[in-house]
């Protein structure tokens, strides 16, 4: 079976390389000729742990092109993996999707082909895609073309494991189309492929659940899953705020409630809130869909409100101790929205840097992976780049931990803080677990630290600084 992947972003690349590794002939299609040439040369446009190694293993089965006429006619399955960014009113922008579907339609050759919506799309998009094919395909035949909704549930940073060893596969469409999809995904369903050495099969993992639904239900499953995870994060952050008021510790609270198997421990981490391309966009899309039908969704609106509040809270914690930020030097550790990726979309660090500059602070930022991408995507921000976390802290009055990279977790914070001018730490990811032995102010989310024993370096006699 031949597979074409339209769009070579985070989802498209992972899908293309995974299917090629499973033995299919896969063509990756993207309008960006520079990106396509880089892929031909083995250069990935994104960072994802292990993806380069899997690309090398799968390369004999991979082909890259920017021409629809080279990719569509021979394909048995056409996966649409283009972006659907949010519009100002919360609805997804379907311009890229519409362009891709029209171009696909113009190059269909009349044989049975399945168009797979892998992009996160509004509820009802599957029917809209079918109508678009009817209107624009020169050789359209109802019995030959089918649309399937096959939403992805990948987490950036662990996308390979999520692709090869999914907890469920959702297929929405007609019986004939989902049967064909089951055949395509047979290696994943049966787990009879050889696991890559660098992405081993998890201990105890057997096979994924297979969920077959209508197109509409599959589209709803994707949005509902992401919105629920967003709710869990916002709930943890709301409880964290109350913990600070009453003196409870959010780590202890979430550990205690997460042991209830009905709740679970995942996505209960308090901090700066969610970012990335999914949670905010998909939650907004559900709210907007409700508006279209006159249906209010107050719980989802509250989740969005709490998430926005967390970003303001981080700056407020800085202001509580530094008062005026004008003229202060603030280090921001982490720029990507989460660790093990270079994805900067809706990253909290962007809002931190923008607000700090607005308040007159000088910002020094460091990220182990995302700084090259930030140079092009964050051209609207003014900040200095540091070559390391230690370099970012030198002479700083304060530091914000914006991304929970392992590098920051394993730092010797007592040693690192000694190079700061003032030692105010806003740990927005709650990664500092060991007590600080140097004089400093530590602010975390949902954890109360007694400030009497943690003073900024500028408040100490000169002979005590660094003691």
291-307: b or e for each residue (b if 16 or more CB lie within 10 Å)? eeeeeebeebeebbebb
Backbone angles phi, psi at 364, to 5 degrees: -120, 120
Both tokens of 404, joined, read 């929970």
Question: What is the spatial distance between Cα 22 and Cα 66, in angstroms, rounded to a whole number?
Answer: 23
Q: Determine which one of 81, 245, 278, 357 is catalytic.
A: 278
Rounded to 5°, angle at Cα 98 from 83 and 176: 95
Q: Which of 213, 208, 167 is nearest to 186 (CA)?
A: 208
Question: What is the spatial distance between Cα 238 and Cα 284, in angstroms, rounded to a whole number?
Answer: 19
Enumerate the β-bridge partners of residue 444: 427
Is residue 418 annotated as part of the catalytic site, yes or no?
no
Question: What is the spatial distance between Cα 9 and Cα 80, in angstroms, rounded to a whole number?
Answer: 11
Q: Which of 109, 167, 101, 184 is nearest to 136 (CA)?
A: 101
Both tokens of 433, joined, read 């677990």
Question: What is the spatial distance between Cα 75 and Cα 27, in angstroms, rounded to a whole number?
Answer: 9
User: Are 334 and 401 a contacting pair, CB within 8 Å?
Assistant: yes
What Rg value do the Cα atoms of the chain yield, rounded?
Answer: 24
Both tokens of 33, joined, read 């000729």
Both tokens of 49, joined, read 């742990």
3-state secondary structure of 117: strand
Both tokens of 368, joined, read 């182990």
Question: What is the spatial distance between Cα 341 and Cα 18, in angstroms, rounded to a whole number?
Answer: 18
Instruction: Tell me the catalytic residues.
Output: 278
């Amino acid at each position: 079976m031949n597979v074409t992947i339209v769009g070579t972003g985070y989802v498209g690349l992972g899908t293309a390389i995974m299917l090629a590794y499973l033995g299919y002939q896969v063509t990756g299609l993207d309008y960006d000729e520079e990106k396509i040439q880089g892929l031909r040369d083995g250069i990935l446009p994104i960072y994802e742990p292990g993806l380069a190694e899997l690309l090398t293993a799968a390369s004999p089965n991979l082909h890259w092109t920017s021409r629809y006429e080279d990719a569509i006619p021979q394909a048995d399955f056409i996966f649409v993996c283009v972006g659907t960014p949010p519009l100002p009113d919360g609805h997804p922008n379907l311009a890229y999707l519409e362009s891709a579907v029209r171009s696909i339609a113009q190059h269909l050759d009349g044989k049975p082909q399945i168009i797979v919506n892998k992009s996160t799309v509004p509820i009802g998009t599957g029917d809209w895609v079918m109508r678009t094919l009817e209107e624009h395909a020169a050789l359209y035949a109802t019995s030959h073309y089918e649309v399937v909704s096959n939403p992805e549930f990948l987490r950036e940073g662990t996308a390979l494991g999520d692709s090869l060893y999914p907890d469920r596969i959702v297929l929405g469409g007609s019986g004939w189309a989902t049967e064909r999809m089951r055949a395509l995904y047979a290696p994943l369903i049966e787990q009879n492929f050889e696991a890559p050495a660098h992405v081993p099969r998890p201990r105890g993992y057997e096979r994924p659940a297979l969920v077959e639904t209508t197109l509409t239900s599959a589209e709803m499953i994707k949005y509902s899953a992401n919105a629920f995870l967003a709710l869990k994060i916002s709930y943890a952050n709301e409880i964290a705020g109350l913990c600070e008021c009453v003196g409870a510790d959010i780590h202890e609270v979430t550990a205690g409630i997460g042991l209830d198997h009905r709740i679970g421990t995942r996505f209960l981490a308090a901090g700066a809130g969610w970012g990335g391309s999914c949670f905010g966009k998909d939650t907004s899309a559900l709210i907007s869909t409700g508006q279209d039908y006159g249906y209010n969704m107050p719980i989802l609106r509250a989740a969005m409100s709490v998430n926005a509040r967390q970003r303001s809270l981080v700056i407020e914690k800085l202001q509580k101790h530094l008062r005026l930020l004008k003229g202060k030097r603030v280090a921001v550790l982490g720029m990507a929205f989460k660790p093990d990726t270079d994805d900067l979309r809706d990253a909290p660090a962007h809002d931190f840097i923008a607000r700090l500059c607005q308040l007159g602070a000088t910002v020094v930022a460091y990220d182990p992976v995302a700084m090259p991408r930030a140079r092009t995507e964050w051209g609207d921000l003014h900040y200095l780049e540091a070559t390391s976390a230690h370099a970012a802290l030198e002479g700083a009055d304060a530091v914000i931990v914006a991304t929970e990279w392992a590098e920051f977790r394993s730092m010797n914070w007592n040693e690192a803080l000694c190079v700061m001018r003032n030692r105010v730490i806003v740990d927005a990811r709650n990664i500092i677990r060991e007590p600080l032995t140097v004089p400093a102010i530590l602010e975390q989310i949902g954890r109360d630290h007694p400030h009497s024993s943690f003073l900024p370096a500028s408040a100490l006699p000169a002979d005590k600084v660094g003691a």
